[in-house]
Amino acid sequence: EVQLVESGGGLVKPGGSLRLSCAASGFTFASSYTMNWVRQAPGKGLEWVSSISSSSAYIYYAVSVRGRFTISRDNAKDSLFLQMNSLRAEDTAVYYCARGEYCSGGACYLDYWGQGTLVTVSS
């Protein structure tokens, strides 16, 4: 059974940093799966944040987080990460780790999602 378990969320002050992790199991993490972070602000819709290809050769960011967030993965440990710096109030959201099953031109449809981890940016 495919499982994605996020951790690392919490309350942080504006300008602060946080590192999210996603532990994957039930599939061959190092194979041809692009991994993704998608966020959802309270009461709002879904927003793609960042993607990383299986070998880390291709990395993409939404304009809203480019230069502040860094995505990475450790295939030996079946783990995905999101380093978030210079956090803003508008980054407050539940952050989901999701597996890209098929990707076209850098974007994917997402067949498995974690339960999410809440990041709250507030003073």
Partner 1 sequence: EVVMTQSPATLSVFPGERATLSCRASQSVNSNLAWYQQKPGQPPRLLIYGASTRATGIPARFSGSGSGTEFTLTISSLQSEDFAVYYCQQYNNWWTFGHGTKVEIK
What three-state secondary structure class fits 37? strand
Measure the N-to-C terminal CA separation of the chain; round to a whole number of Å.
Answer: 40
Q: Which is nearer to partner 1, 16 or 113 (CB)?
A: 113
Asked whether the beta carbons of 79 and 62 are under 8 A apart, the reply is no
C-beta closer to partner 1: residue 5 or 11: 5
Nearer to partner 1 among residue 23 and residue 107 (C-beta): 107
Q: Which of 10, 14, 15, 106 binds partner 1 (CB under 8 A)?
A: 106
Report whether 4 contacts 98 (CB < 8 A): yes
Q: Which is nearer to partner 1, 23 or 62 (CB)?
A: 62
Task: Choose, by CB under 8 A, the member of 22, 84, 108, 121 that binds partner 1.
Answer: 108
Of the candidate spans 22-30, 65-73, 75-83, 98-106, the one that interacts with partner 1 by CB under 8 A turns out to be 98-106
Largest CA distance in the chain: 41
Report the site for partner 1 in 8-67 (rule: CB under 8 A): 45-48, 62
CA distance 44 to 101: 25
Could you give the CA distance from residue 2 to residue 9 in angstroms, rounded to a whole number? 22
Q: Please report, as ranges, the residues that interact with partner 1 according to CB under 8 A.
A: 45-48, 62, 96, 98, 101-116
